[in-house]
Amino acid sequence: MGIAVYTVFWNDVEGAAPEEYNEAFLASLREDLKKEESGCIKSIYIEPRFYSGKGDFWACAEKQTAELFNAFTVAMVHTARRLKDCTLIAGFVLPDFEKDWNALIAGKDDEEAQCALYGGSFKEAFAKKYSHYEFISR
C-alpha cells in the first residue's frame, strides 16, 4: 500500500475565461481516482500546478499578482468540490507560490490583504468546506 500524488494543471481545470471549468476533465479525473479505491493505494495527494508545457511561469515576477493567485486558488477549490467523494484523497500539496503569496501581501494594508485570496493562504481557502484535508509541502 502506498501514497500517490496526482498532478493537476490549472490550464486543464480552467478554460480561457475565469471560472470556465473543464467539467469533462474533472469528471475524468474523478473517475480515475475512484478506480484507485479498489487498488493498493492507501492515500492520494493532489498537487496543483500552474501550467503544463508552457515554460517557467515564475520566471516573470511581474505576473505575480493577488488576482492571479486568487484565480488559481478558486480553480483548485472548485477541483476539490468535484472530487469530494473520492475517499482516498488525503489532501493537497501546497503550491510553490505560497512563499511568493506571503511576500506579496506583506506590504499591503489589512483591507487589501482581506480582499485577496480569501484573506489568507491557499490552505485557508479550503478551510470552510474541506478542513479535513491535509496540506503538505514538496
Question: What is the tens place of the pLDDT at every residue in 38-91?
Answer: 888 999 999 998 765 544 444 455 566 667 777 888 899 999 999 999 999 999
pLDDT of residue 61: 55
More reliable by pLDDT, 106 or 38 = 38
More reliable by pLDDT, 118 or 88 = 88
Rounded distance, CA 49 to CA 93, Å? Answer: 10
Whole-prediction pTM value?
0.80
Could you tell me if residue 57 is left (phi over 0), alpha (psi between -120 and 50 degrees) or otherwise beta?
Answer: alpha
Q: What is the mean pLDDT of the chain?
A: 80
More reliable by pLDDT, 15 or 111 = 15
Rounded distance, CA 118 to CA 74, Å? Answer: 9
In the structure, what pLDDT confidence band is assigned to residue 95 with cuts at 50, 70 and 90?
confident
CB 25, CB 75: distance < 8 Å: no
In the structure, what pLDDT confidence band is assigned to residue 92 with cuts at 50, 70 and 90?
very high
| pLDDT at residue 138 is higher than 70 | yes
| pLDDT at residue 117 is higher than 50 | no
| pLDDT at residue 110 is higher than 60 | no
> Scanning the structure block, which residue is given the C-alpha cell 475517499?
87
> Scanning the structure block, which residue is given the C-alpha cell 511581474?
62
